[in-house]
Amino acid sequence: MISSQHNAPGRILITGASGQLGSYVLRELRARDWPALAWCQRPTPDLFGYSCQSVDLRDTDQVIDAFRAANPEVVIHTAALSGVGDCFRDPAQARQTNTIGTKLLAELADRHSARLVYVSTDLVFDGTRSWYTETDCPAPLSVYGQTKATAERAVLDHPRHLVLRISLMFGPSINGRPSFFQQQIDALKQQTPCKLFSDEWRTPLHLELAARGLLRAASTDVTGILHLGGPERLTRLEMGQRLAQFLGCDAGVLEPAVRDDVPASEPRPRDTSLNSDRWCALFPEFPRPGFEEALASRMGNGE
Ligand SMILES: NC(=O)c1ccc[n+]([C@@H]2O[C@H](COP(=O)([O-])OP(=O)(O)OC[C@H]3O[C@@H](n4cnc5c(N)ncnc54)[C@H](OP(=O)(O)O)[C@@H]3O)[C@@H](O)[C@H]2O)c1
């Protein structure tokens, strides 16, 4: 098991601290009692004892000033306009936040001799094959994927930084905000119909493991691109069915959906499963439990 044994990698700045992933990172930091500075966009109450500073990545001067004041040694950059639909509806905002904001942070980190760990996504791939490796070429289909892929290149211009691509995350929301996973739990418990794709594959990763993985990677000097997905290649329908079984609910309310039947503004990648062999070779001790095992050991805190 990965544990809190690792030393703090230095003064940590986490962006997107109020998000689904960011809040899990803060909880992990609190468990280790590591000091950290937390940034979010909107005013947010303290989370796990960390106060969140509002810094808008679209405001260059604000970011430069706040970065200088923070003077971090490690930046864990999770902030993003993360909704695929939101990015499609407002591509300018998506580019400003995801690409230009990330480029600025990567440059500032480099200038301040800090290391940046950038959270990217399996959606930089077009989904025409399976088990993508770090050497496969990104070919995003969505505005979201394009903004993240372009940001990756800006991060990789700086040799001490790391791009950590993660897959679809699941797990209870611990930041008090709704999430798709939480909606599925509600639908199953209340037995209300819920449509889930049966022809799109990901390698889902529990939020807690994604957060631990980020801290593990941030504690090293690993650079370049690294994939961290879960060990199983699953559709959203399979995830829903296994969640139903785990919760002891009837899965009959889950309706299969296929991509051709659902009108979409942008093409959707069919299979963006991630190959995590590089991760496993670097961190053989890191746990990679299957879907139910991850749920069983990690549902308690947010449910
Ligand atoms: N969710 C997934 O399954 C998944 C899969 C692969 C990769 N990722 C990547 O993982 C990261 C975290 O995703 P998530 O699901 O945790 O996202 P999330 O819940 O939507 O959180 C996004 C965070 O970014 C902040 N943010 C948004 N716009 C900002 C801006 N202009 N300036 C400063 N901060 C801003 C938000 O702050 P406010 O709350 O204050 O608005 C929030 O803290 C993202 O980089 C995403 O691309 C996510």
Tell me the pLDDT tens digit for each residue of 123-160: 999 999 999 999 999 999 999 999 999 999 999 999 99
Query: What are the structure tokens assigned to 20, written together?
Result: 């689904």
**Half-sphere exposure at residue 262, Cβ-oriented, CA atoms within 13 angstroms:** 15
Domains in the chain: boundaries: 12-177+204-232+275-289
**Strand-pair category, 52-54 with 224-228:** unpaired
Report CA(250)–ligand 1 centroid distance (Å).
32
Report CA(145)–ligand 1 centroid distance (Å).
14
- Look at ligand 1, atom 5, and give the residue with the nearest C-alpha: 168
Nearest CA-CA partner of 217 in 79, 127, 117: 117
Classify residue 223 as exposed, middle or buried by CB count within 10 Å of its CB (0-12, 13-18, 19+). Answer: middle
Atom of ligand 1 nearest to the CA of 166: 6
What are the backbone dihedrals phi and psi of residue 218, each rounded to the nearest 5 degrees, phi first?
A: -65, -25
pLDDT of residue 299: 61
**What pTM does this model have?**
0.96
Please compute the mean of the pLDDT values over residues 250-272 and round it to a whole number.
94
pLDDT of residue 6: 63
> In the CATH scheme, what is the code of domain 12-177+204-232+275-289?
3.40.50.720
The C-alpha atoms of residue 172 and residue 175 are separated, in whole angstroms, by 9
For 87, 171, 183, 266, 273, the CA distances from 293, given in Å and listed in that order, are 33, 12, 21, 34, 19
Looking at the predicted structure, is the pLDDT value of residue 30 above 70?
Answer: yes
Query: Is the Cβ–Cβ distance between 113 and 56 less than 8 Å?
Result: no
